[in-house]
Amino acid sequence: MRMSIGARLFEGPGPFLMGIVNATPDSFSDGGRYLEPGAAVDRALRLAEEGADLVDVGGESTRPGAPPVPAAEEIARVVPVVERLRARGFPLPISVDTVKGAVARAALLAGADLVNDVSALGDPDLARACAEAGVPVVLMHMRGTPADMQSRAVYRDVVAEVARELEAALARAEAAGIPRERTILDPGIGFAKTAEQSLELLARAGELRALGRPLLVGPSRKSFIGKVTGAEVGERLPGTLAAVTACVLAGVELLRVHDVAAVRQAARVAAALRDRAVPGAARPGPR
């Protein structure tokens, strides 16, 4: 990939790590831990120390069945975090995880650099906000909303249909004035997908490279790991690392994760397997 996000140029195959900051009371794996702005800021600083390449700040849970949060409430959760991080010179790009134009606008004004939209431009005002600000946007595949998405997990060929629907999202973006060059695509692991469908998408993620855009995947701690192993949500790091490895070998450039330090090591080894090279090692001279 080659894309500027905020002050940073993301260049090469990565993988680059997007660390998750959930400023919510009810996220599926860490709800309530980072709802206070101070706790969310500390979390972002910690993720940066652990080696995150950017952080994703969200104020609305998207877990299956989650109730929608009013825009004003979401702004009150997210904007102070972005403001405080920028005020103290936080060095990484900041992404805002929202489906609402009003929240995206407020976060961009406060210093966010990227919009992560799990509805892939369901709100035309979010598309306008991104087009006007000239920022990149993550277009994630989902059907319906978190309230009803699990009843819509019906596919003949999940990879082909997700690819077709992401292509439609790219067309929506372009029609709204967001050029393809400013888009990142995400198959939406666990969003209107059964565990089997999420596994199929992870195993065949490489096929989505045909869409010609950088890929972001978020397998971290998700329920397909629980379905495969029986592990509770707090015990899914090993399963997350296996999924991350599959993503890297498939050529996924960006990984959205909670456990940055551990994923960083797994991702580096997976990238070395992908490239069959040790980064920074001296190359043998000519014989």
**DSSP string over 52-100:** -SEEEEESS--STTPPP--HHHHHHHHHHHHHHHHHTT--S-EEEE-S-
Question: Are 23 and 98 spatial neighbours (Cβ–Cβ below 8 Å)?
Answer: no
Which residue's beta carbon is nearest to the bound ligand HH2? Answer: 218
29 contacts ligand HH2 (rule: CB under 6 A): yes
The set of long-range contacts for 225-233, using a CB threshold of 8 Å and a minimum separation of 24, is 227/195, 228/195, 228/199, 233/28, 233/29
Stretch that binds ligand HH2, among 101-109, 184-192, 193-201, 245-253 (CB under 6 A): 184-192
Structure tokens at 56: 């994703």
Site string for ligand HH2, 48-67 (x = CB under 6 A): ----------x--xxx----
- Active-site entry in 100, 213, 222, 264: 222
Binding-site residue total for ligand HH2 (CB under 6 A)? 21
What number of CA atoms fall less than 13 Å from residue 148's CA on the CB side? 4
- Judge whether 256 counts as a catalytic residue: yes
Distance, in Å, from the CA atom of 222 to the CA atom of 233, rounded to the nearest integer, reads: 7
Question: Are 243 and 270 spatial neighbours (Cβ–Cβ below 8 Å)?
Answer: no
Among 21, 41, 138, 166, binds ligand HH2 (CB under 6 A): 138
28 contacts ligand HH2 (rule: CB under 6 A): yes
Site residues for ligand HH2, window 249-278 (CB under 6 A)? 256
240 contacts ligand HH2 (rule: CB under 6 A): no
24 contacts ligand HH2 (rule: CB under 6 A): yes
189 contacts ligand HH2 (rule: CB under 6 A): yes
For ligand HH2, the closer CB: 97 or 259: 97
118 contacts ligand HH2 (rule: CB under 6 A): yes
For ligand HH2, the closer CB: 50 or 282: 50
Q: What is the CB neighbour count within 10 angstroms for residue 227?
A: 15
* Minimum separation from the CB atom of position 284 to ligand HH2 (A): 41
* Minimum separation from the CB atom of position 174 to ligand HH2 (A): 19
* Minimum separation from the CB atom of position 216 to ligand HH2 (A): 6
What number of CA atoms fall less than 13 Å from residue 287's CA on the CB side? 1
User: Which residues have CB under 8 Å from 132's CB, separation 6+?
Assistant: none
For ligand HH2, the closer CB: 236 or 264: 236
For ligand HH2, the closer CB: 110 or 216: 216
Dihedral (CA of 121, 203, 206, 155) sign: negative
Q: Is the peptide bond before 15 cis (omega within 30 degrees of 0)?
A: yes
- Judge whether 274 counts as a catalytic residue: no
Rg (alpha carbons) of the chain, rounded to whole number: 18
Contacts to ligand HH2 by CB under 6 A: 20, 22, 24, 27-29, 58, 61-63, 97, 116, 118, 138, 140, 186, 188-189, 216, 218, 256
By annotation, the residues acting in catalysis are 222, 256
